[in-house]
Structure 1
Amino acid sequence: MGFYKHRYSCIGLFAVLFTHAYTTFGQTTSTCFLGGIGLSGSVAADVYNRSTSATATYTITSYTTAGTCPAVTWSIRLNGLDTEVATYTFATSAATYNPSYTNLNVSATSAGVADQSVVTFQINQLSSNESGIIVFAVNAVTSSALTPPLEILDCNPVNDPGLITSASSSPCGYQCQVEYSCAPSYSGKNVSAVCLANATLSTTPNCDLSSAKTATQLSDGAIAGIVIGCLIVVAIIIVVLIAICCTEICCCTFKILCLSWGTKEYTAGRS
């Protein structure tokens, strides 16, 4: 019994040591990263939409064990070319940047667990030249999966009939203000919208276009044509009535003349 007890104790001790070794040293086989890269905002149809002048933010959680996972390097792929643009070193809590890229910011915060940090990579003041950028992170062991490509867009204000639209800038990029008001004879409230970081407007105008279009769907030319047509119809009716009246008048006159002539003939015959 003592042998088995000692054996089981050794097995338990080995399991503890193995678990600790996997946690500490097994990071090399688990790529140091915990999960993939997270993106701020929504991703639609495998494209990372951002508005002009906005910020694209990427995050990844990494172990920070010295000698095993000492740093995270951020790279971009554009037009098939990979470029290292920034490296964050955990020992110094500082980032170094590729001097060719001046609109970047890299930082790290605790993940709430020992030896783990969330590393944030930001591309600021986005422009159309950065459309198509794919981002990935690299450490001493391996690299992360690729992110969806960036697509830099402008917000498109609504310009439907019956709307009066005014934008604070053209093209309308991040935080551009759009004012909507309803045209005369259109019903609805005036609204203000702002261009969001995902290249959509914060609200849409609420002018009642359907009822307004029904009330004003006839053009001035069409209305004039209807009036002229009505006048022509009235004129025709008047002519017809006159013709009918004239016929009746002529008939009456003829009858009177006939009766008068007959009376004279009769009178003359008697005399």
Structure 2
Amino acid sequence: MQKIFDLLHTLRKWYWRTFKIKTFGVRVIIKKGESIFLVKHRYGNLWVLPGGGIKKVKNAEGAAQREVREEANIEIKKFERILGTYLNTQEGKHDAVTILVAEEKEWEDKGKKWNLEIKESGFLMFIICHQQLLLRRNDVYRNIFQVNKNNFQRIGEYMENKKIILRFRAINKDIFLAIKNGKKKIETRAASKRFRTIKTGDKLVLVCGKEKIERKVKKIKVFKTIKTLLKKYKPWEINPEAFSEKDLIKMWSGFSDYKEKIKKYGLVAMEL
């Protein structure tokens, strides 16, 4: 069966190259935490974004929903946005591919479903390196999904610049408002695994009760101790009400186990 798929795919590529076929297609970035949904077809040996061919570009969203339903058995309620339309010439044809984005709350997984064309599929961790997405399995980067050079930069920028939600308790609303009003431009957290993954360019969604604001991370740095942090920043840059190391420690002590967390992980400082 596999040999038949490979032969048919080879013949199809020959046809595309010979007759310079022009086609339209859709691909969808479906996000789940730090993972994206990818499929591997029975022909070829690459992990790709789910999607397929369409007749008209203006029908991209409907076609994308249909293709994802067929290939992944995932129901997309709505798309966050259209990332763009790009020319893909890797397989010999001139394929105008529209890439759409579905965030985590915008889709529903209906479970595994057998598909004749799909060999393997699932949510895979990724890193971006040298115009490729390196997919992580069992903490080892093994499988490679190659991205067309014409659309890599935009996809890479989207995937690298993610949104992270930071919540503030009602008791700390003064800190939230200081950020909102531009008085506080350095946000610190214990440098646990979650916060160490934040990069320059990521967006922070700061939430306090029903209020929400967004800030872009301009710079981020991890410090082993409070003293090394204060060599870089003044106390009042971290909290407008703090004027000494003692004031900051008092502030951090108001959080559960924060002293132990700082000792264990250090501190991450984000310039907003």
Same fold flag (TM > 0.5): no
Instruction: Give the TM-score taking structure 1 as reference length.
Output: 0.28
Structure ID, larger Rg: 1
Instruction: Give the TM-score taking structure 2 as reference length.
Output: 0.27
